[in-house]
Amino acid sequence: MKGISLFISSVILFAGSLHIAQAADVTITINGKVVATPCTVATSNVDIDLATLTSTDFVTAGSASAWHSFTLNLTNCPVGTSKVTATFSGSSDSSNSYFANTGDATNMAIQLADSDGNNLKNGSSKVVAVNDSSKSAALNLEVRAITTQGKATQGTIQSIINVTYTYS
C-alpha cells in the first residue's frame, strides 16, 4: 500500500513538472455602425427639357444655354438625421468637368451646378441640412447644355445623372 501511495505521489509530482502546451490567446473584435435612417425621397425622377437650341449659339468653347432650375426634395427625415449628402454620378465628358451628352449632337455636354453656381461634376457631392421643424431637406440645383470645344453640331442632347443619398 505504501508503494502504491509513493507511486501515485511520484506521478503527481512528475505530472506537475511537465510543461503543458497552451493555446495562443484569442482576440475577438466586433465592429458595427449605427447610421441615420433615410428620409423619404419625394422627388424620384426629374425630366428637364432644355428646349430647342441652335448650333450657332455653341460655336465657341464655353458657350452655354440658359440655366434650368429644379429641386430634389426629401421629406419625413427621422429625428437624429441632421444632414443629407447627395452624390452625383454618370458619364463624364472628355474634360471630366461635366456630364457627357449621350445624344447625337457633338461637342456638347451637360453642366450640373448647385444654386450658388458651384459646378457639380461626376463623383462630386453636395451636403444640405435637414430642417428640424419640417424634417425635410431640399437640394436646389440647375442644369444647362455647354460646349467645351465649340463647333457643336445639330442633334439631340441627353444625359442621365444618378443621385445617391447618405444621411448623418
Where exactly are the structural domains of the chain? 40-167
Per-residue model confidence (pLDDT) at position 28:
82
Model confidence over 15-59: pLDDT tens digits? 555 555 666 788 787 888 777 678 999 988 899 999 999 999 999
C-alpha angle 10-12-13 in degrees, rounded to nearest 5:
65
- Give me the CATH code for the 40-167 domain, please: 2.60.40.1090
Q: Among 26-40, 68-82, 112-126, whose mean pLDDT is lowest?
A: 26-40
What's the whole-number average pLDDT of the chain?
Answer: 88
Which residue blocks in 1-145 are alpha helix, DSSP H?
Answer: 2-17
**Average pLDDT of 79-83?**
92
**Average pLDDT of 53-66?**
95
